[in-house]
Amino acid sequence: MSISALTGLLRQHIGLDPESIGQEAIEQSIKRRMSAAGLDNPDLYFMKVTEDPVELTALVDEITVGETWFFREFRAFSVLQEKALSSRSRLNGLTQFRVASMPCSSGEEAYSIAMALFDIGFQENQFVVDGYDINTDAMRKARKAEYGRVSFRGTMPDFSKPYFKKHGDGFSLKPMVKQCVSFHQANLLELANNAEPRLYDVIFCRNFLIYLDAPSRKRMADVLRRSLAEDGILMVGHCEAPSIAQLGFHTLARDKRFAFSKASRDALAVNVMPPLTRPLATPDTQKQPVKPSLPTGKPALRSGAESPKASILSPAKTKPPTLAFTRQSDEFVRPAVKTAAVRGALPGQSSTAGESLEDQLDAIEMLADSGKLDKAKEACRQLMRQHPENIEAQFLMGVISEAAGEWASAFQYFRKVLYLHPEHHEALLHGAMVCERQGEMTKAENLRTRLSRLIG
């Protein structure tokens, strides 16, 4: 018996796909736990893990070390506010607006949800926020609700200021926010066994599915389907859109590719209010603003290169790609346009004369977002034959290949993008993630170093 047996045990217990974080990273985590347990024989450690639930929990904690931050990807919280306001008329003393963070890691996402709801006038008796995570240390930090500056690495909405107070070298959440969130330590995959699942109006499950093997993704999709209200909204990571679409969920809207429903748009009328836009600022207790940093897509390993995550069975670990199917832009998504995909045509086929390159790229993105990766790939190849040096087409092909699990191919496309545009932030980020999944940690660290220099 070898470390591979322990890897198999983790796959069985938490659905971990070893390729998602790299076998080398898993082996390092196992060896750290073996050392802590005073064992150097994998066979003996396997026996200990299978016989001692406490040690199994410790091993899972080691593997699922998570890292996240407040208001990560603010657009998702704007959609949350839209949904909450459209549901407000039905709320009363017995009916509350319910939101879940699955997984929730150290609590920043769950508390961000509560603050976003307070900001639109919700009272604490009008909503419920539940955070779920398997990691015991993450649960402890979440309940403590004290955070250092790393949790504020992104831009913070102006309305967040009143909810924090200075606490030593960091900040703590005020009781009015802290008491509105309940945390539950749980293996998310086992929630499918609950006879009477809790129903939520909105579920945040971002950048978690990518770390699961195929059977576990299906199990998690069942959990989400059973836990989401009929007219509820599911938030996923941008690059998870193709996977969740293939598992039976439907994109909420063209400009909300990260938001899904259980029913198609034709079968479900979703009330959408104008986006709530606010100036972004850091907490007033900070003397200088924290520069926004791009999210990453790997679990944070306690040794080696920095690779934050929202946590594999703890939330939104870090995400894979920042804006999965968006290109080098400061916007979350571009304005919707009537594309070739809407008309049923693909690039290189009988598309409308004069169709712009932008429209053709949009058509490919829509195919990818709907889970039609093979068609998206073929359409992108046709477009690249017409425009062999187009950076956006090369990058999009890399993202599609990454979503399909074709790591080597994806890296070649990202490398070409970087040859044509050495400062392409997203290509650096995606390239680093792909290298990590192939176990090429040194190459990944070099790309992340280049990215960190660019974003300062």
Residue with tokens 């009988």: 350
163 in the same domain as 106: yes
Give the range of the structural domain holding residue 32, as residue numbers without chain letter: 3-63
Q: Which range, of 74-88, 207-221, 330-344, averages the lowest pLDDT? A: 330-344
Kindly state whether residues 155 and 35 are assigned to the same domain.
Answer: no
Which residue, chain included where needed, has tokens 């924090």? 164
**Among 14-18, 102-106, 157-161, 325-329, which stretch is predicted with the lowest mean pLDDT?**
325-329
Alpha-carbon span 309 to 247, nearest angstrom: 23
Q: Specify whether 98 is located in the same domain as 50.
A: no
Q: Please check the confidence at residue 83 and state whether its pLDDT lies above 70.
A: yes
- We report the CATH number of the domain holding residue 177 as 3.40.50.150
Q: What is the number of structural domains in the chain? A: 3
Return the SS3 of 428.
helix
5-9, 144-148, 274-278: least confidently modelled range: 274-278
Task: Give the helix ranges, DSSP H, for 348-420.
Answer: 357-369, 373-386, 391-403, 407-420
Residue 56 shares a structural domain with residue 82: no
| Residue after which a domain boundary falls, among 218, 236, 261 | 261
Do 29 and 169 lie in a common domain?
no
Section 431-454 average pLDDT: 81
**10 and 92 assigned to the same domain:** no
Q: What is the DSSP letter of 197?
A: P
Residue 320 lies in a domain: no
* pLDDT surpassing 70 at residue 277: no
Is-cis flag, bond preceding 347, omega within 30?
Answer: no
Tell me: do 94 and 51 sit in the same domain. no
Mean pLDDT of 138-142: 92
**Do 375 and 235 belong together in one domain?**
no
Q: How far apart are CA 337 and CA 321, in angstroms?
A: 23
Q: Give residue 93's pLDDT.
A: 67
Q: Is residue 280 part of a domain?
A: no
Burial class (CB in 10 A: 0-12, 13-18, 19+), 382: middle
**Are 152 and 245 in a shared domain?**
yes
What sign for the dihedral angle of Cα 36, 42, 44, 45?
A: positive
My answer on whether 41 and 85 are in the same domain is: no
